[in-house]
Amino acid sequence: MLEYILRRLAYVIPISFGVTVLCFALVHIAPGDPLDAVVGADAPAEVVEKLKKDYGFDQPLPFQYARWLGRALSGDLGLSVVNNQPVAAQLAIAVPNTLMLALVATAIGFVLGTLLGGLAGYYQGTWIDKFATGFGVAGVSVPHYWLGIVLVIIFAVELNVLPATGIGPGGSDGWKFDWAHLRHIVLPAITLSVIPCGIITRTVRATVAEILNQEFIQALRAKGLRHGRIMLHIIKNAAPTVLAVMGLQLGYLLGGSILVETVFNWPGTGFLLNDAIFRRDIPTLQGTILVLAMFFVFLNLVVDILQTLTDPRMRRG
Amino acid sequence: MNTPIAEANIDVAQVAVQSRGYWTTVLQRLRRDRVTLFFGSVVLAIILVAIFAPLLAPHDPYHASMIKRLKPVGTEGHLLGTDETGRDMLSRLIYGARLSLFMGIMPVINALVIGGALGIIAGFVGGRTNMIIMRAMDVFYAFPSVLLAIAISGALGAGIFNAIISLTLVFIPPLARVSESVTTQVRNLDYVDAARASGARALTIIRVHVLSNVLGAIFIYSTSLISVSIILASGLSFLGLGTKPPEPEWGLMLNTLRQAIYVNPVLAALPGVMIFITSLSFNLVSDGLRSAMDIKV
């Protein structure tokens, strides 16, 4: 098992290398000169040359990559070309907001998904199974940005019980644990939770159904155990798979919240990305994607290791 | 939204044995599956609407009218009302099927060809080639799919073509994984050894034995990706990264109608209903085909 964990840890190195190369490449697949957003089209040639030197764009690509990586490792993700703010400082505000949203959404997805999926897997073929299966398919098929709009229409426009946009009252850009702020997270979190809800429901249903087909369950029934006790055995066996799926979902939500953040004006990384794309602010785009992707790599690692630790079958292998 | 991680457990040997009568069985199973039949006809209907849009649309989808803006559903002459510039909603939704389907299906077809080929090469050649191809795929896997699509099309800039490129890149790795794992399984089967011993060339073996096994698996897997792809493609347009106004596309319409949620909420939600129905139908048809063809991907 230790060998597996070490191998898994070592595997992070080539993957991180690939991820950084891809993020670095984003600047160069962007059409036009990376300096276009900084200098006007009518800027004198010497100014452009000087800027090129300042930004290091006159050097060969591997050099530029090494320099960029070195800086990124020390926490310097460059300056936004729009407002000259350090990208890292903008991310320090945006990442916690996105994390908050993604965590709440994953929690909702986990609770609803395991409940529905568990019941559906245990009582296969009943109405609750049909409902959960339908719910699961709908959850993975619904365009969540549309669902967000529909929820806003129902709860903010028609019923007027929840706020439509923002993270808190009066243009607040940080999180506080009070009702005024809590009201703002309800709709975006529910919207974002439909995908993990659908996926977790489907996974739990399939896992439970598979476990129920195994012989040890028959043995437990033959022994005369009651439903509740058998349920405990099922939970114990299903937990590693479900936890792994949940961990991955959290990662997907961190990267995938951009559409929901756009619908709700939630000041997170997605909002930052959206803004960066439209102002052609490539350093901000690059930095945000690098941070989110590295977070995802790290989360994958943690999930894999936790799964190895919790699943005795994998521990032996 | 995410791409389900591909774990192909296809019982290759079994598929190969059932050569005769397999498709008859599949058809029989499908005929009994009412859900799949129903949603299959919905998919067919949407495709037909897209093809015959000029014949079906009651109005010109680009014709704006200052005096007829945001008319509600059921207005005379405009069955589903009009949008924020007075264009007929029904016509725009009908024409929208063209772009939305095209942008959703094209990336999957591209990825099917490229990813499938990469996977077959990796699986068949094995060794270092396999390692290089599959590790490169792993790097793309290190990004959540939505983030990857937005990163690439954000860097490339808005446009239908760029959106299709970025989505193609999102779907290549999962398809390569599926076809690699099937190819690796087939390559080690006895009948492939027999073919090789009888002097068949590599290309012949791939064409006759590998493709027949890989195609079914990646075809079924791709049908499940179409649903994700349609949501993502419309999502890119919703963000302003795919189609540009005034093109009728469901995601873009959803975006431009957002300003109308206080005036005419039903209208503002309509384009999303179309995306939902389309993606749901593709998903259910894919599920149905998968169980009818007895393929676990």
Q: Is residue B23 part of a domain?
A: no
With vertex at residue A170, the alpha carbon angle to CA A87 and CA B263, rounded to the nearest 5 degrees, is 105
State the complex-level ipTM.
0.86
Tokens at A225, concatenated: 């155990």
A chain contacts of residue B150, beta-carbon cutoff 8 Å: 258, 273, 277
Choose among B143, B262, B283: nearest Cβ to A141.
Answer: B283
Q: Quick count: other Cβ atoms within 10 Å of Cβ A216?
A: 10
Write the DSSP assignment of A180-199 as a string of letters.
HHHHHHHHHHHHHHHHHHHH
- Whether B1 shows a pLDDT value over 50: the answer reads no
Helical ranges in chain B per DSSP H: 12-17, 22-32, 34-51, 53-56, 89-125, 127-141, 145-156, 160-187, 190-197, 202-205, 211-238, 250-256, 265-293
pLDDT given at position B87: 86
Give B8's DSSP letter: -
Please write the tens of the pLDDT for every residue from A47-89. Answer: 777 777 776 777 788 888 888 888 888 888 888 877 888 889 8
In angstroms and rounded to an integer, the radius of gyration of the C-alpha atoms of chain B is: 22
Q: Quick count: other Cβ atoms within 10 Å of Cβ A242?
A: 20
Residues B4, B141 contacting (CB under 8 angstroms): no
- The range of the structural domain enclosing residue B117 comes to 37-293
Most confident listed range (A100-114, A273-287, B2-16) = A100-114
- Whether A317 shows a pLDDT value over 50: the answer reads no
Query: Is B117 within 8 Å of chain A by CB?
Result: no
Q: How many residues does chain A have?
A: 317
Overall average pLDDT of the A194-201 stretch = 91
Nearest CA distance, B250 vs chain A (angstrom):
10
Overall average pLDDT of the A36-48 stretch = 69
Q: Is residue B101 part of a domain?
A: yes
Range name among A14-28, B9-23, B143-157 with the lowest pLDDT average: B9-23
Residue B6, phi then psi, degrees to nearest 5 = -80, 120
Range name among A177-186, B109-118, B167-176 with the lowest pLDDT average: A177-186
Q: Is residue B7 part of a domain?
A: no
A257 membership: H or E segment, kind and range? none
Overall average pLDDT of the A246-274 stretch = 87
pLDDT given at position A173: 61
Average pLDDT, chain A: 84
Overall average pLDDT of the B168-194 stretch = 89
Number of independent structural domains in chain B: 1
Rounded Cα distance, A158 and A74, in Å: 49
Q: Is residue B140 part of a domain?
A: yes
Q: Is residue B14 part of a domain?
A: no
Please write the tens of the pLDDT for every residue from B197-241. Answer: 888 888 888 888 888 888 888 888 898 899 999 999 999 999 988
Q: Give burial (CB, 10 Å; 0-12/13-18/19+) of A145.
A: buried
pLDDT given at position B103: 93
Residues B78, B89 contacting (CB under 8 angstroms): yes
Overall average pLDDT of the B88-97 stretch = 90
Q: Is residue B30 part of a domain?
A: no
Closest by CA position to A105, among listed A269, A307, A239, A256? A256
Rounded Cα distance, B66 and B50, in Å: 27
Closest by CA position to B101, among listed B154, B48, B61, B138? B48
Q: Give burial (CB, 10 Å; 0-12/13-18/19+) of B91.
A: buried
Query: Does B144 contact A259 at a Cβ distance shorter than 8 Å?
Result: no
Please write the tens of the pLDDT for every residue from B44-78. Answer: 999 999 999 888 888 888 887 777 777 788 777 77
Query: Is B254 within 8 Å of chain A by CB?
Result: yes
A chain contacts of residue B144, beta-carbon cutoff 8 Å: 251-252, 254-256, 292-293, 296
Between residues 34 and 73 of chain A, which touch chain B (CB distance below 8 Å)?
none
- pLDDT class of B6 with cuts at 50, 70, 90: very low
Query: Is B146 within 8 Å of chain A by CB?
Result: yes
User: Which residue matches tokens 């090789």?
Assistant: B196
Q: Which residues pair with A125 in a beta bridge?
A: none
Nearest CA distance, B205 vs chain A (angstrom):
33
Nearest CA distance, B157 vs chain A (angstrom):
7
Q: What is the CATH number of the domain that holds B102?
A: 1.10.3720.10
Nearest CA distance, B262 vs chain A (angstrom):
6
Please write the tens of the pLDDT for every residue from B131-146. Answer: 999 988 988 888 888 8
Closest by CA position to B2, among listed B178, B217, B176, B228? B228
Q: Is residue B123 part of a domain?
A: yes
Q: Quick count: other Cβ atoms within 10 Å of Cβ B144?
A: 27
Query: Is B268 within 8 Å of chain A by CB?
Result: yes
Integer CA distances (angstroms), B107 to A153, A168, A265, B102, B115, in order? 32, 39, 29, 9, 11
Query: Does B254 contact A262 at a Cβ distance shorter than 8 Å?
Result: no
Query: Does A146 contact B139 at a Cβ distance shorter than 8 Å?
Result: no
Please write the tens of the pLDDT for every residue from A120-152. Answer: 988 888 898 999 989 999 998 999 999 999 999
Q: Is residue B10 part of a domain?
A: no
Rounded Cα distance, A106 and A292, in Å: 17
Query: Does A143 contact B152 at a Cβ distance shorter than 8 Å?
Result: no
Q: Which residues pair with B82 in a beta bridge?
A: B88
